[in-house]
Amino acid sequence: MHTLAQLKSGQLAGITRLTLSENLSIFPTEILSLADSLEILDLSNNQLSALPNELNKLTKLKIIFASNNHFETLPESLGQCESLDMAGFKSNKIKYVPAESLPVKLRWLILTDNNICSLPDTLGERPRLQKLALAGNQLTQLPSNLTQLTNLELVRISANQLTECPDQLLALPKLAWLAFSGNPFTRTDIDIQSVPVVPYSSFALQNVLGQGASGVISKAVWNKPTDDFPDEVAVKVFKGELTSDGYPEDELQACLKVGGHASLVKSLAQVNEPDCLALVMQLIPEHYNNLGLPPGFDTCTRDTFKMDFTLPIEQISKIVKQMQSVFSHLHDNQVSHGDLYAHNTLFDQDANIIFGDFGAATMYHMLNEKQQGQIQQIEARALNYFIEDLLSVCAEEDKTSNEYQTLANQVS
């Protein structure tokens, strides 16, 4: 985090990344003095509602974040920034996205949690676009020319007002991660009660085990021990009414619809109270670790891994077989996970996996037969990318093995 005082004094000359959060209501023009170096500009958590027309003077600017501000219109000056390829304006008050606001080199656009009712056709004229996050808006339809986005790989359109399945997305050749729950076209009367409902007061939360876009997972113990559940459990308490992937209640229902599988986190109970929605799960043993790390700015949609991390081909093969079984189980139950990634997978030293995080999951039994088949194809592409990512960390000495070649041929 930097300060406005540092910027004005010239202390930040030559920096490539600037982060300012000081309740700003006006864009500090001193930022323009960083034109020769600035690549990433983070102005999140301020009170900004406009950006200057001179923004294009930042000729090296690649990424801009301005989440949690007061923008009502996506600034047109963004479209004049020739090197800009990522814009994040989550949780503003944006109603309008002008055609001129979308940079020509746009690769990653985040407009989650705004008030957008429509998008310009120019969105379909951004061929480099790989990642598009639109959850939590008021969209009733999408531009028909999104069929042109042949590099689009990840889309979030959950929690909008779409009355029809956006067929223009389903046939895209690279789309692999799609979240679309919480729209009128996905509404269903199904109310799954596959696990018992328990009061929030029946357990006590202990240390935090992890958290993501949709909630915080903590270790918990029952206030009154019972033979119905293990003494120690994990509890995911969902955040608010909207997440970056959709509504918590949709995640809960999709998770319960999937049911049990040896390689999935086991659901034990649910909390469904006016001020609290939570899922009680089996506590994962401490010897399990994350298989991968989330994508970065450079990889955009593809997972990353710890430095020097490798796996023998025998373990990769075992992990893949388990994930293929999970994939079949999900789609036998007509649920698309939407986030099939190594970073949502835990594994132990014997390559046993536990897969979770249903924040982007969607039940799709209400779609027609063709659409259901396309959803399965999209998720199958994610499975292939998962295999490719694991092969990228395969031990060097195993890359000439028949087993490696078999997996590589499977995804080629």
Binding residues for ATP: 236
Annotated binding-site ranges: 236
Query: What gap in Å lies between CA 53 and CA 159, rounded to an integer?
Result: 33
Distance CA 278, CA 215 (A): 9
Q: Which long-range contacts (CB under 8 A, 24 or more apart) does 28-33 make?
A: 28/4, 29/54, 30/4, 31/7, 31/58, 32/57, 32/58
Pairing state between β 289-290 and 345-347:
antiparallel
Q: Is 406 left (phi over 0), alpha (psi -120 to 50) or beta?
A: alpha
- Cβ proximity of 173 and 152 under 8 Å: no
Q: Is 369 helix (H, G, I), strand (E, B) or coil?
A: helix
Q: Answer whether 269's CB lies under 8 Å from 232's CB.
A: no
Q: What does the block give as tokens for 269?
A: 């109970």
Long-range pairs for 353-356 at CB < 8 Å and ≥24 separation?
353/263, 353/291, 353/319, 353/322, 353/323, 354/263, 354/264, 354/265, 354/284, 354/288, 355/263, 355/264, 355/265, 355/323, 355/326, 356/264, 356/265
Structure tokens at 371: 């659409």
Q: State the Cα–Cα distance between residues 23 and 273, nearest whole angstrom.
A: 35
Evaluated on CA atoms 97, 337, 350, 412, the torsion sign reads: negative
Please give the Cα distance from 386 to 380 (Å, whole number): 10
Backbone phi, psi, residue 158, to 5°: -65, 160
